[in-house]
Structure 1
């Protein structure tokens, strides 16, 4: 059976990857963080932590962010 990376290390890597995909999508569209978090009805600090990869986003929050960015939530979750 293959060994799995340390849970904390893996989770941190995945959070950062999701945040990076959100940031790249947002910047590609020429949008500010403020325009996204306001349209998605997400608190500024929550959005900033998700995009920075320092916090988990609830699925509903990620779905709202994805909708505002015009992508499917799976596009944010896939690597």
Structure 2
């Protein structure tokens, strides 16, 4: 059994924010607006903004839709 980190869920927030930054940077690198991405990905505007801000917990399906809308692979969004 693997030990759990002692920092509670802080690492989750950190990772969500890191992934949100990667999504934002990929979107900007592809000269896309938030509106272009959330419409193409069929994601609610406020939810998309929360994803970029690291305040939401998107599903794998949502991340795949966003990656496709931006024109990158999901691994690029996760690794940056």
Pair in the same fold by TM > 0.5: yes
- Which TM-score applies when normalising by structure 1? 0.89
CA contact (8 A) 2:32 2:70 kept: no
Residues matched between the structures, number: 79
Aligned to 1:54: 55
The equivalences for 1:65-76 within 5 A come to 65-76=66-77
Structure 2, unpaired ranges of 5+: none
- Paired with 1:7 and 1:48, the residues of 2 have a C-alpha distance of 25
Aligned to 1:16: 17
Structure 1, unpaired ranges of 5+: none
Q: How far has the Cα of 1:78 moved from its partner?
A: 2.1
SS at match of 1:7: coil
CA RMSD of aligned residues (A): 1.8
- Which TM-score applies when normalising by structure 2? 0.88
- Paired with 2:47 and 2:79, the residues of 1 have a C-alpha distance of 21
- Paired with 1:30 and 1:67, the residues of 2 have a C-alpha distance of 15
Q: How far has the Cα of 1:73 moved from its partner?
A: 0.8
Per-residue deviation, residues 43-62 of structure 1 (Å, max 9, x unmatched): 10110100100011111000
Relative distance call for 1:3 and 1:50 in structure 2 (3 A) is: same
